[in-house]
Structures are given as C-alpha cells and as structure tokens.
Structure 1
Amino acid sequence: MQETRWAQVWMTTGLLWFLLAIAFAPTNKIYQQGLVAFLWLPTLLLAWPARQRFVELWRGQRLVCLAVMGLGFWAMITLLWTQDPDPSRGAKRALYIIVFLLFFPILANARPERVIRIMQWGGLGLAVTALLAAIEFYGVDGNHWMARLVGLGQLAHPILGGYVLGLAAVWLAHWIPPTRGKQLLWLVALAFLSGFVVLSQSRGAALALLLTFVTMPVWCRDRHSRLIALGALLLAMLAFWLLEPLVLARGTSFRPEILRSSLDMIAQRPWTGLGMGSGYTVFAEGIQFDHAHNLFTHIAIELGLPGLLLWCVLWFAVLREAWRARDTLYGRGILGIWMFSFLAMQFDAASISGTPRAEWFISWLPVGLATVLVWTQAKFQGCDKIPRST
C-alpha cells in the first residue's frame, strides 16, 4: 500500500513540507497543521501495511530502537514530577517524535535513493529561501551588509537559520547529481546556503559547517570531498579576513559561564532532572538565559543523567550505523549530517521535546534519516543497495 502512487506523493509532500514550509509557511500554526496533514496522518494510516519494514528495522538497528524506546519511556516517567503545568502536552509531543521516526522507513520502503532525491529537492528549495532572505533583508529592508542576516518564516533568527541552511549545505555537498548541468545548479545552491551561514554571523553554525567539510575526506575518500575540504578552508580564511572584527566582537557570548551554571543545575537534580517540558532559566554573569545553549546539558537538566545516557546511546548508535554504511552514498550523507549536527548542538540547540521546529533538523531529522540505513547495508533479502558514488 505504501508503494502506491498516491501514498508516495502524500509522503513526499510530507517530507518536503517539513523541510521547506518552516521557511515558507505564513505562521507556525500553519506549519504544524501541515505536518499533521502531510506527515503524521499518512504515517499512522500506512504503519500497519508497512509493518514488515518495522520488523526489518528492529532486526537491523536494535540498539537504535531500544535507545528510542528507553528514552521515550524515561521521558514519560519524568512527567510525574515535571514543572510543566500541562504534562499531557509532553506525552503528545513524545508521540509526535515516535511517529516522525516511523515516517522514514515507510517513505523509503527499502529504497534509500528515494529519500536522497527528496532531500536533494528540499536542499535546493532551502537554497532559494537563502537567496530570498538576503534580497529581503539587505535589499527590501535596507539593512547594512554587516548586520546579521536572518531567514524567512520560522528561520527568522540568525542562529536557527544558520543551522538549518548549513545542514542543507552539508547534505547537498554529499548527494551531488551525476550530470554536469545539475552539478552546476548544485554548486550555485551550495554557494547560497554557505553564504547565508557566513552572513548570519552564527559562529557555531559556521564552525560546524567548516569542520564538517574539512573532515569529509575521512569518510568519503574521493576527489570531490577533497576539493570541498580545500575550498572550505580557503573560503573560511577569506571570510575571517573580511569579517574578523565582527567575529571577535562578541567574544565567547557567555558560553563558558552558561556551561558552568548548567552543570551546577545538573548537580542539584542529577538523577531525576526537572522533568520533560519543564521551563528553566540559566543565570550567567548576572544575565538570564532561557536555555542551556547546549543540547547535552539541556537534556541532563530536563531528564537527568539517565536521560542524557539514553540520548548518548541513541546518538552514537546512529553514528555506528552510518559508519558501517560509509561505503554507500546514503551512508556518507548521514555521516556528514551527523557530524554537522553533533557540532552544532554544542553551541546553541536546546530542544528535543518541543513541537517540530528548527532544532529538529539537528536532533530528530538525523535519527529519522538514519533508520533508512538498514536497507543501504542490504541486510535483508530483496533490499536494494545504494551504488557507490564516483
């Protein structure tokens, strides 16, 4: 049933909506409603017909599945002492996450190349948003070119926009089409996306993008990855030379002080945490911050050390699965996505239990995409392999 044309169009629309409507949807409410219609609903309707794919996923990625279930179970337990005035909201969001992760095996249906194609189109769409954002910000609104560029829609923040568009640059750099004409289009898209990251002046996103591109030859081991690494280094030196005053003016942005304050909060409730969905503030140098600016410390504050341990098991299990599939085109793309996300979440991201938002691009999207790695490794009879890239 999931292979019928209407089902594939429906689910393809769901993934593209997740990737693009975050910038194009007029409001966050419309974005969330679109996800319900195009992503959550088809997943629930097709889950039973696609149950064999879930069996294959369980057999091939048991550690990932156990880590997701363990994290979800522990998060539900923490609702017993959460400071969220509406604990049912946390339970609903946990269900959203589970359905989101189940979406990818149904969409792929043992065909990872299908996911690659959709992600490629999504990356091109995000490149268009980068160009439109620059035109609106500098041209229409008349901001000075040294001002921090912000994205469109829900990406109207230099840090969040930098993370989402930087991640799009990463997957486009790994999943390059074979024909010359399309490769030129990809190069232009990469320039728009990378340029947005630089102009957003988000140092966390820029550093994550640079280090991901520089380390690409470790898992890609081909000519195009070495060219990307070299080009990234040269462009980074040029950008630093041009924007050095802007890069250094903000100092460390209180990150060391926020980290110390976050560790103090963890030490106060190390085992239970505050509970899923609890609001909290971090005080550093007399300034109040509304989150820990680091996904790992945020999880420890909210879910305690057990939650942090389960997240680490899940996150590094994804790395293990991607590394095992590094000789495939899909596996290499997931490694790049994992590397960028891991670096980005050290500097600002602090949400795994909220509604779908920009932070999901560097938390749950890599996990969801990684579930498709089962079929790149061809562990089950009749599954398709992704060919090696040249």
Structure 2
Amino acid sequence: MIYARRWAQTWLAIGILWFVMAIALAPSNKLYQQGLVLFLWLPTLVLLWSARGVLAEQWRTQRALCIAMGLLLLWSGLSLTWASGEDAGREFKRLVYIGLFLLFFPLLASAGFARLIRLLQWAGIGLGIAALISIVHFYGVQAHSWRVRLEGIGEISHPVLGAYVIAAAIVWMLHWPPQQRWFQLLWALSLLSMGAFLLLCQSRGATLGLLITMLAMPLWCRDRKSCFIALSALAAAVLAFTLMYALILARGSSYRPEIFQSSLQLISLHPWTGLGMGSFYTVPALGMTFDHSHNMFTHIAIELGIPGLLLWMAVWFGVLREIWRVRSSTYGKGLMGLWLFSTLAMQFDAASLTDTPRAEWFISWLPVGLSMALVWMHARRPGCDKISGSI
C-alpha cells in the first residue's frame, strides 16, 4: 500500500511534528497554516485512496464514533445556513480541515504505535525547547518582572492557551518516557523547561487540570512510577500554594461563575439551532464584555445549540470508550491521561472548536485524532481480520 511506504510515512511524520512544534516555533501563524497544508492536509488527500481499506476497518471497529463525528460535522455545516458569519465558504473549509486532520492519524499510525509515540516524544522535546526560548526571551531579553505572566513565542503567546498546549505535552511525555539513557536526559530537561513555562504562565486552569491528571495516573497506570508522579505532584502543589498563596488567589475566580451564568442565558435564546457555526457573540458579565464563554461546552451550545452540544458529547465520550477498550496498553494509558486533562481544561477556557488549527486543537481534535489511530490496535485483536496490506 502506498500510504505504508517509507516516503509516505516520512511525509506524514513531518506533518505531526509540524502540527505540534511549529505552533510555537513557526515565525508566524500564516507560515504555520501553510505548513499544515503542505505536510498534513495534502499528504492525507494524496494517500487517502490507497488507505480505503483502513477506513473500511475503522468504520467496522469504531462505528459509533464515526457516526457521531459525521453527524457533528453535518450539523455544523447545516448551521451555516442560519449563521451570521460573513464568509460561509471559509467556515465550511474549516470543517474539511477537521475531517482531514482526523483521517490523518490512521495513516500515520500504520507504521506502529511505538513510532507514533516516538514522534510525539520528539515533538514534546521541541515544545520544551520553545518553552525555554520563551522564558529567556520574555524575562531575559525583554526584562519583564518575574511576577508578570509569561507570554511565549509563536502561537503559545497567550498565557492561558499557551499553558494548555504545554500542559498537554507534559501529560503525554509523563506517560511515554523513552527507554534510551541519552533520550531520557532530553526528556527530563524538556519536562523541567515545560514545567517552568506552565508555572510562569500562572494559568490556574491548566495547572489544576495537570495536577488532577497526575494525581489520577495510578488509577489506570497501576505501577510504582505513576504513584511516584502522583505523590511528587501533590508535594509540589502544596509547596507552590504555600509560596505563591497571594499570587494564586489575587485574580479570584476570574469571573468564571458569572460568565457561565450569562452563557446559559445566551443558550436559552436559541436553544435548538444556536447562532450558527462561526457566528460572532459576546458574553456580558458584571458590566464587562467577554469575547467567548470560556468553556468549550457552553461555547458549542451557543454556536450549535443543544443538538450540537449533544453530538460533541457523543464524540467526546465515544473517544473515552475507544480509549477504555485499550486502557491496558502503553498508548491507551497516555490517551487516558490526555483525555482527562483535556476534559478538565475545557471547563476553564478553550472556547473554540471549528476555527483553523490553533492551541485549542491540542485539547479537542488532537485527542480525537489519536483515538482514531486505534483502528490498528482493534484490527489486531483475536478474532479480527488484519487490514489488508497494513504493514
């Protein structure tokens, strides 16, 4: 099969590395998006026909998830007929991008999960380098006070969204440590760099989500390493709260309860249709105006109505079902951690589901895409036929 050839797999590998690392290291968002066209959308389109057997197997083994995903994209596209956005064609193109992104992962995983994990390890190291550059540039070159919230380089410049990207990388790096000694050194240094980045961003949502995920790791990992990580995370949290008590509580609840209540009122205005995909809205709270709901689920309900929210929940919990089926595998354990962290992160921010690839994709479409790669694991179960010409 063409998609399994070395040149094709190299092209796809560049795609995942670009998606993860270039969000921080690309000189501009325009270049980042152009790189995605070249290294991710294009190879998926070129190789898709040769992988039709993979898609057929995916339909057989992940049918519920595929149906939920298809209905969500269909409903999102239909909502463009009543949306108030200026460019329906651009919004529809974003749905195509999402579809291609999800189809990309079964092609990428055809060379094996060990290779996919290795690629994500290298991508995490790339983000560790970006985190270090961000710290040196912001506090060294620009000479900001250490009390000022860190703004990273590239598309991780937003203290909250950048923290979510880095925290997501920390989750998969903790679950997938390398075996080689020299690689372990790079892995450890990258984790230290990303941990410092997360702390300096002062994003309580990302930090809390990561802390809960690390504390919960022994539930699915069931080994001494995960217990050590959980205890270390708890000790670090207690120490950080003791030393930074005033700084942590200085911003209060950041108006999140008031924003949530106002978002529910917006949902009640258009409960069944929503405003339509890509429609502009603002959330008034306490005399101020916010440009989104600061919660993924309420954002989806505002744009796509209750049907859209239910379809997204079907997708999201369908992903959990797929992960649970392989929870004993190394890959499944990493996805379990990423799913839990992403679920927590969605409660505090990341109100963007159908925009062009950006930081929010790390806690929405990336876990979905990685779960769709599980078609290869399901196909190798006893009683299942292997995908023809797979590897």
Normalising by the smaller structure, the TM-score range is over 0.9
Provide Cα deviations, 1:150-207, integer angstroms capped at 9, x if missing partner.
Answer: 2110111110110000000000000111234433332222121122111100000000
After TM superposition, where is structure 1 displaced by more than 3 Å over at least 4 residues in a row? 379-383
**Partners of 2:51 and 2:107 within 8 A in 1:** yes
TM-score, normalised to structure 2, is: 0.96
Alignment of 1:331-342 (within 5 A): 331-342=332-343
- Pairwise CA distance, 1:110: 6.0
Secondary structure class of the residue paired with 1:98: helix
2:385 to 374, 381, 386: 381
Report percent identity of matched pairs.
Answer: 56
Q: Distance in 2 between matches of 1:205 and 1:82?
A: 31
Equivalent residues of 1:219, 1:326 under 8 A apart: yes
Q: Tell me which residue corresponds to 2:91.
A: 90
- Map 1:42-121 onto structure 2 (within 5 A): 42-109=43-110, 111-121=112-122
TM-score normalised by length of structure 1:
0.96
- Kept in 2: contact 1:148–1:201 (CA 8 A): yes
1:330 Cα offset (Å): 0.5
In structure 2, stretches of 5+ residues that fail to align are none
SS of the residue corresponding to residue 263 of structure 1 reads: helix
> Are the equivalent residues in 2 in contact too, given 1:203–1:247 (CA < 8 A)?
yes
Counterpart for residue 276 of structure 2: 275
What residue in structure 2 maps to residue 253 of structure 1?
254
- The Cα shift of 1:375 comes to 2.1
Contact 1:321 1:370 in 2 (8 A): yes
1:9 and 1:123 mapped to 2: Cα distance? 18
Residues in 1 aligned to 2:243 and 2:252: alpha-carbon distance in whole angstroms: 17
Aligned length: 383
Distance 1:89 1:167 in 2: 28
Q: Which runs of 5+ in 1 are unaligned?
A: 384-390
Cα drift, residue 215 of structure 1 = 0.2
Residues 238-249 of structure 1: pairs in structure 2 closer than 5 A? 238-249=239-250
Partner of 1:162: 163
- The one-letter amino acid paired with 1:62 is R
CA distance in 2, matches of 1:289, 1:219: 38
Tell me what 1:386 maps to.
none
Distance 2:41 2:61 in 1: 24
Cα distance between partner residues in 1 of 2:114 and 2:277: 36
Distance 2:183 2:90 in 1: 44
CA contact (8 A) 1:110 1:375 kept: no
In 2, are the aligned partners of 1:110 and 1:372 still within 8 Å (CA)?
no
Contact 1:330–1:376 (8 Å) recurs in 2? no
Distance 1:152 1:239 in 2: 25
Shift, 1:231, TM fit: 0.7
Secondary structure of residue in 2 paired with 1:275: coil
State the superposition RMSD in angstroms. Answer: 1.1
Cα displacement string for residues 210-261 of structure 1 (whole angstroms, at most 9, x for unaligned residues): 0000000111101111111111111111111121111100000000000000
**Contact 1:328–1:376 (CA under 8 A) maintained in structure 2:** no
Q: Secondary structure at 2:4's aligned position in 1?
A: coil
Offset from partner CA, 1:95-152 (integer Å, 9 cap, x none)? 0000000000011116222211111100011011111111111111111111111211
Q: 2:367 is matched by which residue type in structure 1?
A: P
Which structure 2 residues correspond to residues 180-259 of structure 1 after superposition, within 5 A?
180-259=181-260
